[in-house]
Amino acid sequence: MVYNEVERTDRDEMRSMQDERLRTTVEHAYENVQFYRDALDDAGVSPGDIDGIDDISLLPFTGKEDFRDHYPTGLVAVDREDLRRIHASSGTTGKPKVVGYTEGDLQLWGEVMARSLVTAGVEPGHTVQNAYGYGLFTGGLGIHMGCETLGANVIPIGGGQTGRQLELLSDLGSDVLTCTPSYALYLAETAEKEGIDPREWNLSTVVIGAEPCTAPMRAEIEEALDVTALDIYGLSEIVGPGVSMECEAKDGLHVWEDHFYPEVVDPETGDPLPEGEEGELVFTTLTKEAVPVLRYRTGDLATLTREPCDCGRTMVRMSHVTGRSDDLLIVRGVNVYPSEIESVVLEFDEVAPYYRIDLRRDGQLDTIDVTVERSEAFDGDDEELAARLRDRLQTVLSLSPDSLDIAPPGGIERTETGKVKRVFDHR
Ligand SMILES: [Zn+2]
């Protein structure tokens, strides 16, 4: 089932729609945003040079720093009185990235979110327990609007309140839960501690997002909650959640490319990469009014494919984002992604699916300390377990951690609201 027939559009037709929408977007950005007028002028490109998608690489990139440099509303292309909503990203350093929406933008967002929910198997009348945070963060309200657009019954509980979440999952018979993958695991763990069996719930699906999730982590969630877990992707600079969504084929996430055009580029040079090669995801909005965005560099690493999908949707698919180019840790000259450490942790039943990475600098030398958590069921020897983990990490990372500590069950801090923090870089 699809929410909108456009999801099965013939590829040639899609391309001509994108060509036309790109021309309009470039004109709109050039006419109404000083930043884009300057950037295009500097690149020696005029809106008239852009006939369609084939010319997209002539356009300059937009970066995170451009949102910050033009804080708060320098990238807004419409009059203030035409804005209907403002969201902002939770910037960990400096000013947040502020984004605005017109009435049309909110409708568009509701539509792509409704498509995403249907792609996850949600139907009108289903009850969706929305455990993403409400507020300036786009997660909560984005999912919420999608439920309303679709005609699903949304429970706006937001993040945290784990006891209440469990109570509502039992008492209201929620069909679908939406939350971060780390929180899904935490809910499962808390349920187990309290003697609650998720198999007695009505819950069939968890829509996970806002954090990267490795395949073993997803399997862990599906097993622990007895559900299908499907990945949703988005970012506030483009619209919020609902830029792309994984379908039941579990073979990548369909990008709603009639509104958001994806490219993959070499993270170092910015050169476009051929289909199938991994690189940095870049998005251009094709219909946004308040904040049109040209070639936004997400920092997320993925591949794209236009091969037909079993679900019948024709829209391009992106692979799961397992790392961000800015997650990359360089330790003594070796490239390490936290997701690689996660995959090792999840291979071992003797440890819980939690870990912590601490990076320090000792003189000129980087040090990396990994802490994992013994699972309740494991009653073997910690030192012997640590040695096996260390061996496995050496094989996967080509680097052995300086220390590998095994914490007692519950010894690693859990995240109940917001995004999980696993890497602590003290350098
Ligand atoms: Zn599909």
Residue 62's pLDDT is what? 97
Give the residue from 195, 174, 91, 68 showing the smallest Cα distance to 125.
Answer: 174
Residues around ligand 1, an ion, CB closer than 5 A? 247, 249, 309, 311, 313
Structure tokens at 43: 């690149």
CA of 353 to the centre of ligand 1 (A): 29
CA of 315 to the centre of ligand 1 (A): 8
For residues 267 and 227, give the distance between their C-alpha atoms in angstroms, rounded to a whole number: 35
Are domains 1-323 and 328-425 of this chain identical in fold? no
Structure tokens at 153: 């019954």
66 half-sphere exposure, CB direction, 13 A CA radius: 20
Buried b (16+ CB within 10 A) or exposed e, 416-427: bebbbebeeeee
For residues 95 and 88, give the distance between their C-alpha atoms in angstroms, rounded to a whole number: 10
Unique residue bearing structure tokens 């490319």: 257
pTM, 2 dp? 0.88
Q: What's the CATH architecture for 1-323?
A: 3-Layer(aba) Sandwich (3.40)
The answer to whether residues 397 and 330 touch, using CB atoms and an 8 Å cutoff, is: no
CA of 316 to the centre of ligand 1 (A): 9
Q: Which residues contact 309 (CB under 8 A, 6 or more apart)?
A: 247, 249, 251, 252, 254, 317
Query: What is residue 350's DSSP assignment?
Result: T
For residues 162 and 142, give the distance between their C-alpha atoms in angstroms, rounded to a whole number: 21
CA of 248 to the centre of ligand 1 (A): 7
Q: Which residues contact 101 (CB under 8 A, 6 or more apart)?
A: 83, 84, 85, 86, 87, 109, 290, 291
For residues 208 and 148, give the distance between their C-alpha atoms in angstroms, rounded to a whole number: 19
CA of 309 to the centre of ligand 1 (A): 5
Residue 90's pLDDT is what? 66
In Å, what is the CA distance from 412 to each residue of 180, 220, 352, 357, 387? 18, 18, 10, 11, 20
Residue 174's pLDDT is what? 98
CA of 308 to the centre of ligand 1 (A): 8
> Environment class of residue 253 by beta-carbon count within 10 Å: exposed (0-12), middle (13-18) or buried (19+)?
buried
Residue 9's pLDDT is what? 97
CA of 383 to the centre of ligand 1 (A): 45
Fold held by 328-425: GMP Synthetase; Chain A, domain 3 (3.30.300)
Query: What is residue 272's DSSP assignment?
Result: B
Domain coordinates of the chain in residue numbers? Answer: 1-323, 328-425
Residue 310's pLDDT is what? 97
Q: Say how many Å lie between the first and final Cα of the chain, rounded.
A: 50
Residue 93's pLDDT is what? 61
CA of 356 to the centre of ligand 1 (A): 34
CA of 164 to the centre of ligand 1 (A): 34
Unique residue bearing structure tokens 């909108």: 4
Q: List per-residue pLDDT tens for the chain, 427 residues long.
A: 999 999 999 999 999 999 999 999 999 999 999 999 999 999 999 999 999 999 999 999 999 989 989 999 999 999 999 999 999 986 556 788 999 999 999 999 999 999 999 999 999 999 999 999 999 999 999 999 999 999 999 999 999 899 999 999 999 999 999 999 999 999 999 999 999 999 999 999 999 998 888 888 899 999 999 999 999 999 999 999 999 999 999 999 999 999 999 999 999 999 999 999 999 999 999 999 999 999 999 999 999 999 999 999 999 999 998 677 767 788 887 888 888 888 899 899 999 989 999 999 888 888 999 999 999 999 999 999 999 999 999 988 888 899 999 999 999 988 887 778 889 989 8
The answer to whether residues 389 and 349 touch, using CB atoms and an 8 Å cutoff, is: no
What single letter denotes the amino acid at residue 44?
G
Q: Which helix (H) or strand (E) holds 304?
A: strand 304-305
Unique residue bearing structure tokens 């977007």: 25
